Amino acid sequence: MLVLVVNCGSSSLKYQVRELDPGADGGTVLTSGLIENIGSSRIADHTQALELLAERLEDELDGRGIDAAGHRVVHGGELFSEPALVDGGTIGAIEELSPLAPLHNPAAVLGLRAVQQKWPQLPQVCVFDTAFHGTMPEHVWRYAVPEEFYERWGIRRYGFHGTSHDWVTGQAAQFLGVPRERFSCVVAHLGNGASVTAVKDGRSYDTSMGYTPLAGLVMGTRTGDLDPSVVTAVLRRDPELTPERLDAVLNKESGLRAVAGDHDMRAVQEAAERGDERAELALEMAAYRLAKYVGGYHVAVDGAQALVFTAGIGENAAPFRARVCDRLGALGIRLDDDANAARSRETRRISAPDSAVEVLVVPTDEEQAIAAATAALVTGPAAG
């Protein structure tokens, strides 16, 4: 079957078409692309973007029709703890979750409606970034704040990057030949946004992002964990500072960018190699924060069988992986330096034979995961 994978932003639409055999993992990519500048004079809205997409697909797929669409949706709140086949109420429910993801959910809704309008009979599936973390126990997802915060505004920890953490966990278990339901690990998804997840018996037990994707690790432009008093203190001291502006500072002008002057890991590593002290400090801060999480999560899952690196930094930044693992000797973690330095696009082991915990690099592929989930729901019994 042909599955169209859609990732909608407010002014962009990223797509991929995959061909899948029933029961197979994620199939092969037939075509992919990006439609930008939605909202401009050329492409007025998502409906027009869909017209353009349909024309492109007509060409690129030699007239073959697609069988289903799978959408990436950032926030599923407490409603969606697994991928959902779109029916009468689904799109409205995602729209109602918009206060939790004001930039992302409205864009996904526009994409869902546009696809529905263009191809009314096409089965659609939503795959949520938060869903994998729906298994976190209550003592993990709660914040110790007045109950009203949760009751009125849904303030709790949700976690993100779930599609990637879930996929990578499955790949790692398969690589090690361990049944997933008996596999516990720590997954570090390190891209521009970064999060680390404690996986216990194949399911998410804890994760570093929280109510929003700002929490946890030191990221490209985000602070990660911060004493909340910092927010009230700076708001009080600078009368010009609005919550919106501070939001932008914490999300877009912090992290590696604030410390090293660049958000990009490659650039920061190169600067550190040239002896730039701020770049070196930024790397130490990011590595220390991650190592601290790995130690905590090793305890949370009662001893992880593996530490798994994924995404742009996790898959490619060998010196950064070494920096993190050097701090994890107390867990018995030992890297094989040659295996760590070797470049590959495959799932691989980078730990030494005497390491107490396996260390793996697993390439993530969120589109593949979305396509697989879509095919499973559309062809499975749930589709009727």
Rule CB under 6 A: is residue 219 a binding residue for ligand ADP?
A: no
Least distance in Å: CB of 296 to ligand ADP? 23
Whole-angstrom Cα distance, residue 328 to residue 294?
8
Least distance in Å: CB of 236 to ligand ADP? 33
Angle at 122 between CA 119 and CA 128, to 5 degrees: 110
Place of tokens 């996986």: 199
Whole-angstrom Cα distance, residue 287 to residue 321?
8
Q: Give 300 or 307: the residue with its C-beta nearer to ligand ADP.
A: 307
Place of tokens 């915060």: 149
The contact pattern for ligand ADP, residues 238-277, with x = CB under 6 A and - = no contact, is --------------------------xxx--x--------
Whole-angstrom Cα distance, residue 124 to residue 373?
11
- Of residues 30-69, which lie at the interface with ligand ADP (CB under 6 A)? none
Q: Which residues are catalytic?
A: 129
Which listed residue (225, 312, 322, 327) binds ligand ADP by CB under 6 A? Answer: 312
Least distance in Å: CB of 265 to ligand ADP? 3
Least distance in Å: CB of 266 to ligand ADP? 4
Q: Give 296 or 312: the residue with its C-beta nearer to ligand ADP.
A: 312
Rule CB under 6 A: is residue 225 a binding residue for ligand ADP?
A: no
Sequence letter at residue 299: V
Span from 120-128, 129-137, 169-177, 306-314 in contact with ligand ADP (CB under 6 A): 306-314
The contact pattern for ligand ADP, residues 193-212, with x = CB under 6 A and - = no contact, is x-------------------
Burial (Cβ within 10 Å: 0-12, 13-18, ≥19) of residue 251 = middle
Which tokens belong to 211? 């109510």
- E strands in 135-245: 185-190, 194-200, 203-207
Q: Give 160 or 183: the residue with its C-beta nearer to ligand ADP.
A: 160
Whole-angstrom Cα distance, residue 155 to residue 203?
22
Whole-angstrom Cα distance, residue 108 to residue 354?
47
Q: What is the DSSP string of 41-69?
A: SSB-SHHHHHHHHHHHHHHHTTTPPP-EE
Rule CB under 6 A: is residue 192 a binding residue for ligand ADP?
A: yes
Residues that bind ligand ADP (CB under 6 A): 191-193, 220, 264-266, 269, 311-313, 316-317
